[in-house]
Amino acid sequence: MNWDWGAVRDFMPHFWDGLLVTLQVLALGSVISFALGLVWALLMRAPTRWVRWPVGAVTEFVRDTPLLVQLFFLFYVLPEWGLTFSALATGVFAIGLHYSTYTMQVYRAGIEAVPAGQWEAATALNLPRRRTWTAVILPQAIRRVVPALGNYVISMLKDTPMLMAITVLEMLGQARLYSQQHFRFTEPLTVIGVAFILVSYLASLLLRALERRLVR
């Protein structure tokens, strides 16, 4: 194998462009998945089954279908219904929606792990329901589930290359485009592999630091 450092230098501007897109997808997708997952979890605790059943059906459907199928559907089918979004916006929403069905389960587990005495104490203090959730239940639940949520951040990072299927040039998309244009595959793909390892490692360090801070 002939390693060409010149090819690495030529590829680096494309790599930085792809890395920026990857980090944008990861950050925005994480925000959507965390926020929407919490909404799903709260709706699943609604007192009426006419709320729980539709939410359960939708989240089960999203969780049980491949992310790639959802990407194709949102990117190619929705425009036929008059709903057109950019490839990047579609990818961000698809990843956020897909992983929200997993973070929902994490939130549910965290809420159910809050001791019953906390609910009883809030009732005894005559706290409003909203105040009970925002000041008592959710802070304890979220503190418990940070490690599990962090695992899904890493999973989202590793799924960002799927966006290449809808023309989003994230890191792997840039590597593929460069390789096809210059017939050099080893250097760009190696750079991308190392980049994924480093980003995953840095993300795990940040999540561990956040976890330690919340445990204090």
Spans of the chain below 50 pLDDT: none
The three-point CA angle 179-172-65 to 5° equals 135
49-64 vs 5-43: helix crossing angle, rounded to 10 = 160
Phi-psi region of 138 (alpha: psi -120 to 50; beta: other; left: phi over 0): alpha
**Across the chain, what does the average pLDDT equal?**
89
The pLDDT score that the predictor gives to residue 146 is 83
The pLDDT score that the predictor gives to residue 214 is 67
Altogether, the residues listed in the chain come to a count of 216
Residue 31: count other Cβ atoms within 10 Å of its Cβ.
Answer: 12
The pLDDT score that the predictor gives to residue 215 is 62
The pLDDT score that the predictor gives to residue 143 is 82
The pLDDT score that the predictor gives to residue 152 is 92
Give the dihedral sign, CA 62/103/21/201. negative
d(CA 172, CA 174): 5
The SS3 call for residue 44 is: coil
**Residue 185, token pair as written in the block:** 């595959």
The pLDDT score that the predictor gives to residue 194 is 94
The pLDDT score that the predictor gives to residue 111 is 85
